[in-house]
Structure 1
Amino acid sequence: MPNITVNERPIVPFDGSPWIWSGLLLLPLAAVLLRNAFFSKRLPVPVIYSEVKDTQARKSKYLQFPRETLGHGYKTFGSAIWGLDTSQGIKLVIPTTYLDELKSHPSLSFTESISNDAMKEYTGVGGLPDNIVQIFKAKFNPTVAAYLPYLQETVEKELADIFPYEQDWTETSVYHKVTRLVGRVSTRAFYGEAASRDEAWLELAQAYIETVLEYLQALKPWPEALRPVARFFLPQRAKLLKQWNQAHRHLSATLVARAASNSRNDPPSVIDHIIDSNPHVKVDELIHTQMALVVAGIHTTSAALTQLLFDMAAHPEQSRELRDEVDGVFDGHWTKQSLDQLKKLDSWMKESQRMNSADLTTFQRQALKPLRLTSGLSIDKGTRLEIPTAAIHFDDMYFSNASKFEPLRFYEMRKEEPAKHQYISTGKNDLAWGYGRHACPGRFFAHVEMKIFMAEFVRRWDVKMKDGLPRHRNLEFEANVSV
């Protein structure tokens, strides 16, 4: 029987006393200033917008206009490595020629880089540990097909609730409704059946996502040395800690009940696999994983579906052909084979991802110790690297008419290379999911989840933008695309 360690008291997993931080303010301030001065002198590559002498101004430029900044750097420096001032310090933007050299480099950590970007010390959200990634790959992904009946049943029911049938065109908000459905489905996969039917948990998960994103947007504009104090004046902090403790209590109760009954979900959830692999796992360990999955799994899938609906609404005549494809395949039950036949829908998903991915950069890595590239460039410990994915995806050298939305682009490309150019594919110029062994392990579940959602949606509704309005404009903040 699993040994569950429960902490019933309120917890503060990623914070400290405001008096302690206030008293020590001068120490981190001096350390950061010295570190930045030292690093800037030694930085061996050019920095974008170096003509702007104010470092904070360069950071603000990237915060507010990230796509423009990445595109400008990509065009300016080409295949060279260049520096980018961010709220988390300078990052090195690398060309794709370094991907194979760095994809499995032992001195680089994907998890540490993601935790840094998500400001784990403030939000509690970080990258998934390697053991959890391995559980996804070896344990969870092979069971994805077993989720298809549940996915179909849940999507059909939830769609009827969030988009009631109307005879006439009806204006509606999309993201929060989609997040509601994705939250239920993802909770079943990541947490379990009982939690997926628990309205309190579903509401908490959705609110937690919003609070984390709001907290990051409020905190990142502050200079790094002032954040330890500034956070105590931000309302999102108190809200986030309250939600974290609510999640901790919920997870504790669930795990105690599971241990008492010695039961597991069928098909198993990610938590089932985690406990099976480590019967002595503690709640405090599980909650970091679960809340990271809430943000990474629910938010990114909801954002991707919302972006796809925006693209369909902006191209209504073209999107109607998807109904013919779905009707020609659907026989009452979705299977892996029937979903694989939805190649036009897959192309729509892929093109929407290319132009409106939730992340403007991917292949994030942080140096755990110094290393030297084959080019001779030395990388210091703590340096963070990434690929300018959005800029690459808009390069005419890789995608003809790259700035134009062509929904069947990848459908046509698959005629020449059937095994490539799928929604879940990765490659040196196909980077939305990342690259190498840290490419998103949850993309296979997200793929079938999104395909069933979209197939059931296009069977029932047409969608268009409100008369006279252009496609919804993305809201972008650093490397993150929100809706």
Structure 2
Amino acid sequence: MSDCIPFAAGKSALATLYQHYRFVIDGPGLIKSGCARFSSSLFEIPRTFRFGQIILCTPKLIEELKNTPSAVASPEPWIDQLLQISHVMPGYFPKGGGWPAIAKTTPGLIRGTVYKQLDRYMPSMNEAILSQFRTLEFKNGECAVNCFDFAYSIVARSGSFALVGERLSQNEEYLKAVKEHILGMIMTTRVQFLVPDCLKRYIGGFVSRLATLGTRWDMHASRKILLKHFNARAAEYHDEMGTGFVPDDQGASTESADKPVEIFRWLYESSVLRQRWSYSEVIGEMLLLQFAFIYTTGYALYGALAELARRPEYIAPLRDEIEALFSDGATVSACNRMTLLDSFLKECQRLHPPAAVSAHRVCVKPLELSNGITLQRGTHVGVPSAAIQRSSTHYANPESFDGFRFAKRAAAGTQNTGLVDLSPGYLVFGMGVHACPGRWMAGALMKVVFAHLLVNYDILMPGGASGSLTGSLSFEEFYVPNFVLRIVLREREK
């Protein structure tokens, strides 16, 4: 990599040390300042105990990265390092084999089932959401809930039905373990990042166990519970394999044209029938899928609920739209026609992404950029999505919240204004062929939650407090939710 690439805050020894420290406690702030200084080029972030994280700032360079083939710049090594799989999930994937083949297959399965057959998932997803609402306890017509935990629990329950089936999505022990395991993985992987690579082979496993030991997010304790339920479910699959369920490459089967595909079942039976993967690889992929879908969607729903609670002026127009379109129940068609709600959710995502950087790639071959700089093999490359989504280049009054911003754009004929649409100014879901394959389900899930919420309740901040959506610290490029933020649900008078 060329020495001409600047650091976000200078390359002196003191400045470099400062950036190592600041990236740990306020990565988004460091990235924002780098974007302000180098908006017409690129810069480097000195990640903790390592170098080589390049941030591309210009539309031209970002478009080049988007169009770069995976054989040159791939997201797979980044995901491997981001999640510290060999240390956090030892034994689940082949050693030294690169990114596991099963992980290359799953995005296509999700696009072929969850996207194309979303209508088949809606009834179960709707019931899972209603089940979570039924756990609420009201006193004098009001219920105060922890905003993040409420959103996270809804997504854990409604997302689990697609992964492991309707029965397990109602199992409280399983759901508790899912939530604790994901948060435990986040904590463990972040602590692992603080360990120099040269020491990971010696103390990585010890650090993984120590990171959450004794906490309510004990990753290893919750994983044992998940494995118990996975093994029991796999035994049921094995017993049922003679009943006619034969999954094809898109997850379809001859069992039922209306029954949604259960991801775990498809993975398990494909591994047994076609011997594509080992059982441990199937379990490893399930743990990764839980992490990828449930936390990110939970964070998005959390941000949208908090914004609605502190902006009650949006309740009436959103409620009117929902009541006009939701009379026939939770359907993909109804969700697709909720243009105001779609716009509101997208504006929340624009201002409250889970991380300051997206579209991560790692150069597996040297990558020559149009500005003459060549990024060497092993270089990490990313896009400053949070800064871009608050840029006046793409948005008028970018720091202001306008819940119907994208509905107005759509009415004016602007393209790619939908929640799941990709565009240069909206990068929450990534870009190009590696964009999030589950974003259609995430969008439908959030709309169904808002539909039931607004039909039955008013939502507000306790005491009229504004409430910050992020905690006092971030961690590296990730925003940490405000875990103590509470909202109030008040039963509507009908």
- Shared fold by TM > 0.5? yes
Residue type of the partner of 1:241?
H
Q: Offset at 1:102?
A: 2.6
Matched, 1:206 2:168: no
Q: Offset at 1:378?
A: 1.3
Matched, 1:141 2:120: no
1:107 aligns with 72
TM superposition outliers: structure 1 runs of 4+ over 6 Å: 125-128
Q: Which secondary structure state, in structure 2, belongs to the residue aligned with residue 385 of structure 1? A: strand
Q: Offset at 1:165?
A: 4.1
Q: Distance in 1 between matches of 2:80 and 2:127?
A: 35
1:244 aligns with 223
Residue type of the partner of 2:388?
I
Q: Distance in 1 between matches of 2:311 and 2:61?
A: 37
Q: Distance in 1 between matches of 2:77 and 2:416?
A: 30
| Greater CA drift, 131-140 or 386-395 | 131-140
1:23 aligns with none
Residue pair 2:363, 2:376 contacting (<8 A) in 1 also: yes
2:33 aligns with one of 72, 92, 105 = 72
- For residues 448-468 of structure 1, give each alpha carbon's deviation from its aligned partner in whole angstroms, at most 9, with x where no partner exists: 111101111111121222225
1:92 aligns with one of 51, 54, 58 = 54
2:358 aligns with one of 362, 375, 379 = 362
Q: Which secondary structure state, in structure 2, belongs to the residue aligned with residue 148 of structure 1? A: helix
Q: Which secondary structure state, in structure 2, belongs to the residue aligned with residue 344 of structure 1? A: helix
CA separation of 1:473 and 1:231: change in aligned 2, threshold 3 A: farther
2:157 aligns with one of 180, 184, 201 = 184
Q: Distance in 2 between matches of 1:209 and 1:416?
A: 41
1:121 aligns with 86
Q: Distance in 1 between matches of 2:205 and 2:393?
A: 44
2:203 aligns with 229
Q: Distance in 1 between matches of 2:397 and 2:296?
A: 26
Residue type of the partner of 2:477?
A
1:31 aligns with none
Q: Distance in 2 between matches of 1:396 and 1:167?
A: 46
| Greater CA drift, 120-129 or 268-277 | 120-129
2:42 aligns with 81
Q: Offset at 1:230?
A: 7.0
Q: Distance in 2 between matches of 1:51 and 1:81?
A: 14
- For residues 336-356 of structure 1, give each alpha carbon's deviation from its aligned partner in whole angstroms, at most 9, with x where no partner exists: 221122111111100000000
2:18 aligns with 57
Q: Which secondary structure state, in structure 2, belongs to the residue aligned with residue 467 of structure 1? A: helix
Residue pair 1:231, 1:237 contacting (<8 A) in 2 also: no
Residue type of the partner of 2:45?
L
Residue pair 1:64, 1:478 contacting (<8 A) in 2 also: yes
Q: Which secondary structure state, in structure 1, belongs to the residue aligned with residue 479 of structure 2? A: strand
Q: Distance in 2 between matches of 1:276 and 1:253?
A: 14
Q: Distance in 2 between matches of 1:473 and 1:267?
A: 35
| Greater CA drift, 381-390 or 308-317 | 308-317
Residue type of the partner of 1:75?
A
Matches within 5 A, 1:6-25: none
Q: Offset at 1:443?
A: 0.4
Residue pair 1:123, 1:240 contacting (<8 A) in 2 also: no
Unaligned 5+ segments in structure 2 are 91-98, 246-254, 482-494
Q: Which secondary structure state, in structure 2, belongs to the residue aligned with residue 320 of structure 1? A: helix
Q: Offset at 1:268?
A: 0.9
Q: Distance in 2 between matches of 1:337 and 1:319?
A: 22
Q: Provide TM-score, normalisation by structure 2.
A: 0.83
Residue pair 1:189, 1:269 contacting (<8 A) in 2 also: yes
Q: Provide TM-score, normalisation by structure 1.
A: 0.85
1:268 aligns with one of 248, 251, 261 = 261
Matched, 1:396 2:361: no
CA separation of 1:188 and 1:326: change in aligned 2, threshold 3 A: same
Residue type of the partner of 2:325?
V
Residue pair 1:92, 1:386 contacting (<8 A) in 2 also: yes
Matches within 5 A, 1:391-430: 391-417=387-413, 420-430=416-426
Residue pair 1:316, 1:463 contacting (<8 A) in 2 also: yes
CA separation of 1:355 and 1:115: change in aligned 2, threshold 3 A: same
Q: Offset at 1:317?
A: 2.1
Q: Distance in 2 between matches of 1:323 and 1:429?
A: 28
Q: Offset at 1:232?
A: 2.5
Aligned residues between the structures: 442
Residue pair 1:248, 1:283 contacting (<8 A) in 2 also: no
Measured on the aligned residues, the alpha-carbon RMSD in Å equals 2.4
| Greater CA drift, 146-155 or 465-474 | 465-474
Q: Offset at 1:251?
A: 1.9
Residue type of the partner of 2:54?
L
